[in-house]
């Protein structure tokens, strides 16, 4: 297991549980997902480390996450579902970066952007979870990391 | 006295989540205004002089730290209480924000963390929120 894997699993699990109130049914596991992902949001980061974090999810999970965040099933549109998935990606990214690059590093995160959920990505770490609302996969790609003192 | 609150975040879901948390917290809320980037937030604050601003960091157009710099540089807005609600965890940046008088709440946050930070910043007694909360119809802490 590389040094990125455990921080990614921790940040993914805690973000889904605390932000979207969706609990993991199984432990976080490394490896690929089942490919049944309709949507993906990617957050690029710059600064003490450069790369991106991507969250892939089914439409059902995306809507469930948004409904829980809003506290109202009836308010959720497709656009808000996409927004929620982007915010999940943003929070996972913001929480995992200090763990892998040190809390002294300063990062700038781009706004989440939609991307191809089925693209073949050579990730440096990958985490799949089964949650109440479906499956989710999170990929972390690090192009550069500043040496920690 | 009801608080005028400005929420600045580029995520519509996060803005709604923060507002919901504020309503459930029992804080005496008055007008609430949502903005999706720092420039919009700055304009809204200059126009309304709110009692509180809740601000994300990473946003398009103008980020939260730049927005706070503009606020502090203007005598008319320098004293507006700011809570940064962000995923930001860099020690250097958090210290910089604290030095500018901002409080910090880390995402994901609990309703209690947000409420307690606001109480500490605004000086509203906790009993006042408890009374307001008891009068509400939905308390889901």
In sequence order, the β-bridge partners of residue A47 are A107
Task: Give every strand in the sheet of B29-35, ordered side by side.
Answer: B29-35, B3-8, B52-55, B82-86, B103-106
For position B59, what pLDDT does the model report?
A: 93
pLDDT tens track for A69-120: 998 877 789 999 999 999 999 999 999 999 888 878 888 899 999 999 999 9
What rounded mean pLDDT belongs to chain B?
88
CA distance B1 to chain A (A): 27
SS3 B43: helix
CA distance B118 to chain A (A): 20
Assess contact for B88 and B58: CB atoms under 8 A: yes
Q: Which of A133, A98, A132 is nearest to A8 (CA)?
A: A98
Q: Write down the pTM of the prediction.
A: 0.88
Residue A32 has pLDDT above 50, yes or no: no
For position B137, what pLDDT does the model report?
A: 41
Residue where the block lists tokens 């480390």? A49
Task: Find the closest chain A residue to B85 by CA distance.
Answer: A91
For residue B45, what are the contacts with CB-CB under 8 A and spacing of at least 6?
B6, B53, B71, B77, B80
B87 and A93 in contact by Cβ < 8 A? yes
Strand A107-109 relative to strand A125-131, pairing = unpaired
């Amino acid at each position: 297991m590389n040094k990125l894997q455990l921080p990614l699993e921790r940040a993914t699990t805690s973000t889904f549980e605390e932000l979207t109130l969706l609990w993991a049914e199984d432990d976080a596991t490394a490896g690929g997902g089942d490919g049944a992902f309709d949507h993906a949001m990617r957050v690029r980061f710059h600064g003490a480390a450069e790369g991106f974090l991507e969250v892939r999810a089914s439409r059902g999970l995306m809507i469930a996450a948004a409904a829980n965040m809003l506290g109202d099933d009836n308010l959720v549109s497709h656009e808000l579902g996409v927004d929620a998935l982007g915010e999940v990606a943003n929070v996972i990214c913001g929480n995992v970066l200090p763990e892998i690059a040190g809390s002294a590093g300063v990062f700038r995160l781009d706004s989440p952007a939609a991307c191809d959920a089925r693209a073949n990505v050579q990730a440096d770490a990958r985490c799949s979870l089964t949650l109440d609302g479906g499956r989710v996969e999170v990929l972390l790609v690090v192009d550069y990391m500043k040496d920690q003192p | 006295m009801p608080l005028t609150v400005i929420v600045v975040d580029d995520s519509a879901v996060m803005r709604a989540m923060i507002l919901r948390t504020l309503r459930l917290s029992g804080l005496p809320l008055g007008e609430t205004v949502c903005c999706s980037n720092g420039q919009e937030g700055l304009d809204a604050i200059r126009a309304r002089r709110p009692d509180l601003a809740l601000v994300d960091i990473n946003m398009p157009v103008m980020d939260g730290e730049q927005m706070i710099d503009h606020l502090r540089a203007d005598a008319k807005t320098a004293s507006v209480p700011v809570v940064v609600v962000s995923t930001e965890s860099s020690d250097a940046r958090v210290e910089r924000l604290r030095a500018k008088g901002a409080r910090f709440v880390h995402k994901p946050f609990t309703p209690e963390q947000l409420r307690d930070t606001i109480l500490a910043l605004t000086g509203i007694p906790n009993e006042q929120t408890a009374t307001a909360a008891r009068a509400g119809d939905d308390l889901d802490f």
